Chains A and B, each alone.
Chain A
């Protein structure tokens, strides 16, 4: 009964490097969501993807951030030229469909930019 998997769980990058965060949805789920969480805050929506399509990227910063969910393989959240302000926990969730379908979260990737 594999849930949503994310790797790595912890990622340390120096300023200017690239960070790649991976998310494998639950079996049978084709909808993936990415969220960012700062300490003691709620989750902020970043992007919603379906296989090979970006459905809603209204929460994504305009620069340096990109996301994809290819036909085969995990969803990738990519952050180029990381800055200290990118340090946060990044969570991925998956669902069977959109609307009232429930989202199930992975354990998150904690990104630290030094």
Chain B
């Protein structure tokens, strides 16, 4: 069974601060995806990383895929209240099955 552990589970910070969310597994994945979910809505895909060591930037968000393709991190610079939400990582197997972590609930206070 493939498991993904996300940390921290909850994070509450002030506007302007930086933060990093981690996604770790003992399994290797074909790719790894990060989603953001707001209350009452479905997850929205932020990024897909495929290559070990890959780094992708999306404005103030930086995503990194570990060299061994087992872990990933999401770093947010100068967080804003609009970044508040549940951040989910999902590892995708070669057969297309996605395994989700339990998420990190981020609250950014103005």
Q: Is B62 an interface residue (CB 8 A)?
A: no
* Closest residue of B by beta carbon distance from A3: B42
User: Are B95 and A56 neighbours in the complex by a CB distance under 8 Å?
Assistant: yes
Q: Is A85 an interface residue (CB 8 A)?
A: no
User: Are A102 and B33 neighbours in the complex by a CB distance under 8 Å?
Assistant: yes
Q: Which chain A residues in 85-114 approach chain B with CB under 8 Å?
A: 91, 93, 95, 97-108, 110
Q: How large is the interface on A (under 10, 10 to 19, 20 to 34, 35 or more residues)?
A: 20 to 34
The distance in angstroms between the C-alpha atoms of A35 and B86, with both chains bound, is 16
B interface with A by C-beta (< 8 Å): 6, 30-31, 33, 35, 40-45, 48, 50, 86, 88, 90, 92, 94-103, 105
Give 12 A-B contacts (CB < 8 Å), ordered by A residue: A40-B103, A42-B101, A42-B102, A43-B43, A43-B100, A44-B100, A45-B100, A91-B42, A97-B96, A102-B48, A103-B33, A103-B45
